[in-house]
Amino acid sequence: MNPREVRSAGGNAISLRTPLALLLISLATIAAVWWWLATPVTLVRAPIDPSAKLQCVSYAPYRDTQTPLIESTQVSAEQIAQDLAQLANVTDCVRTYSIDQGGDHVPALAAKVRLKVIQGIWLGSDRQKNLMQISTAIQLAKDYPDVITGLVVGNEVLLRGEMTVADLVANIRLVKSQVQVPVTYADVWENWLTNRELSDAVDFVTIHILPYWEDTPIKAKFAAVHVDSIRKRMAVAFPAREILIGEVDWPSHGRMRGGALPSRTNQAQVVSEILDIAKREGFRVNLIEAYDQPWKRQLEGIIVEGTVGGYWGLFDAYRREMKYPPGVAISNVPSWKLQMAAGMALSAMTFLAALLTLRRRPWTPRFEAWIAVAISATTAGSLLGLAADKMYFESYHIVSWLQWGALLAAAIASPLLCANALMAGRPLPTFLDWLGPRETRSKSTLTILLGLALAVTALVSAETALGFTFAPRYRDFPYASLTMAVVPFASLMLLNRPQAGARPIAEAVFAGLISVCAVYIAINEGKDNWQSIWTCVMYVLFALTLWQARAAQSRG
């Protein structure tokens, strides 16, 4: 047989030009998508100016799996010394939040690299721990008067509801009576306006302005202007006090909130613009934060953690490398070549799966079948790198690794198995095909695997849809992996219609649940959140696919 032809059952030759042409189009499309995604951005003003150090950055010493949420955690002085030596190259000051778990080493080590310290005192609902924090910080302020430039008595303790204003004021005055350095309290700017009496107890007002986390999220391009407008408003409200912006920044990874999109380029742009305004208008700014802190994700979820809280750093958590070095163009996908290559390989494998099916069962496939294979291959190939990247950043504990890993596995398997089913003339299986009574189960391994991929996608879709409906604040949108899985399923259901029969109850329940949630999520997240809209479109497409299922299907 000519290698350029496949014989149909009737003896007609099928040219391989069609799949070859579609494969080339698919590969070209994948390359174009990744070239566009990886287009670097060169900022007019570098976020980190090599000729001018930052005023101050927040510093938490935890690395890798270290977390302050485990009381036994102890960070060594050697580890802190390494961090401070690196930070001394980019900043004149670090702000800390606590003195336990090794944090009391910071002032002495900062002195060695000529860093100033805004020393934090962590307050909560435990009075004994509060007194321990206070007494240690007071002693540090006395021991290192040339290093510690201020004490922050409590960080967002009012926001967390762990202390009354009266108790907070009493603690602030206790500290002030025993130290010579200025004393302040730090909280979101709204809490200062609500509790104006706090200003009488402090030497300067420390406010947190995080445009991403505002009740009405601010887009990255408006973030710097928003920060400046809030600062000016606070200056009017507290004319007798200096205003320190104690926390301001933008996340590099995580879910969208409204039109606020976390990304490397957006983080660099926001930091650059805020620092430029601070320099021109002469106000103090502390960036949050020096290093990414993945442990913070534990604060944002119980089963599935949110991503965004762990990725506000100037340096990444593990390699300790600056995310946007001075003079280097910034890309949101620095490993794009590898991601593009992996996507191209998946696309080629999808076409190969279709061709191998024809070699075993030669017949003339409809042109629409090849178009469906091409769409599935191109979609999966374009999104594979992004889906893998999201799984890496969005997985923290074993549960989230299993969830996102299972969805990604189903997303990779879906175009391959659906290509096989399209060319073999098999419909999308139902759950009963591999979970039903033994005598009615499919005997085909490929059908069972396709059914398993379908079930995994249904379970993760239902879980995430319910999560976005009832506890959406921190959850990440699975738009990339979900699209990779759903598009081949929908294509197969559209072209290889199941035989007439009863609609299975399980598929109907999943379809109804997911579609209802999708409508609510789209409304709740708003029209500016393209991650939400994309995810909801995939939810609806998947629900329609499940709704078309029929129990009486060929077993193939």
Using only C-alpha atoms, the chain has a radius of gyration, in whole angstroms, of 28
Question: How far is the C-alpha of 230 from the C-alpha of 239, rounded, in Å?
Answer: 14
Nearest to 549 by CA among 467, 481, 496, 493: 493
Quote the DSSP letter at residue 254.
Answer: S
Distances (CA, A) of 481 to 169, 176, 297, 484, 542: 50, 54, 21, 5, 13
Q: Which of 444, 543, 456 is nearest to 493 (CA)?
A: 543
pLDDT at 46: 74
Helix (H, G, I), strand (E, B) or coil at 488: helix
Quickly list DSSP for 35-68.
HHHT--B--SS-SS-TTS-BSEEE-----TT--T
Tell me, what DSSP letter sits at residue 537? H
Contact in structure between 496 and 428 (CB atoms under 8 Å): yes
Q: What is the 3-state secondary structure (H, E, C) of 148-196?
A: EEEEEEEECCCCCCCCCHHHHHHHHHHHHCCCCCCEEEEEEHHHHHHCH
pLDDT of residue 64: 85
Amino acid sitting at position 484? M
Q: How far apart are CA 56 and CA 53, in angstroms?
A: 9
Tokens 């600056």 -> residue: 322
Query: What pLDDT does 45 receive?
Result: 76
Torsions phi, psi for 247 (to 5 deg): -145, 125
What pLDDT was estimated at residue 41?
87
Contact 154, 133 (CB under 8 A): no
- Per-residue pLDDT 10s for the chain (556 aa) are 444 444 443 333 446 888 999 999 999 999 999 999 999 988 877 778 777 899 999 999 999 889 998 999 999 999 999 999 999 999 999 999 999 999 999 999 999 999 999 999 999 999 999 999 999 999 999 999 999 999 999 999 999 999 999 999 999 999 999 999 999 999 999 999 999 999 999 999 999 999 999 999 999 999 999 999 999 999 999 998 999 999 999 999 999 999 999 999 999 999 999 999 999 999 999 999 999 999 988 765 444 457 999 999 999 999 999 998 888 899 999 999 999 999 999 999 999 999 999 887 766 788 999 999 999 999 999 999 999 999 999 888 888 899 999 999 999 999 999 999 999 999 999 998 877 777 667 778 899 999 999 999 999 999 999 999 999 999 999 999 999 999 999 999 999 987 777 889 999 999 999 999 999 999 999 999 999 999 999 999 999 999 999 875 444 4
Amino acid letter for position 262: P
pLDDT of residue 553: 45
Asked if 297 and 309 count as a contact pair (C-beta separation under 8 A), the reply is: yes
One-letter identity of residue 507: E
Judge whether 249 and 271 are in contact, CB under 8 Å: yes
Residues in the chain: 556
Looking at residue 299, its pLDDT comes to 67
Sign of the torsion angle spanned by Cα atoms 204, 210, 216, 221: positive
pLDDT at res. 297: 82
The whole-number pLDDT of residue 303 equals 42
Whether omega for the bond prior to residue 525 falls within 30 degrees of 0, making it cis, is no
What confidence score (pLDDT) does residue 556 get?
43
Dihedral in degrees, nearest 10, Cα atoms 263, 268, 272, 278 = 60
* C-alpha span between 266 and 260 (Å, rounded): 9
How many C-beta atoms lie closer than 10 Å to residue 151's C-beta? 25
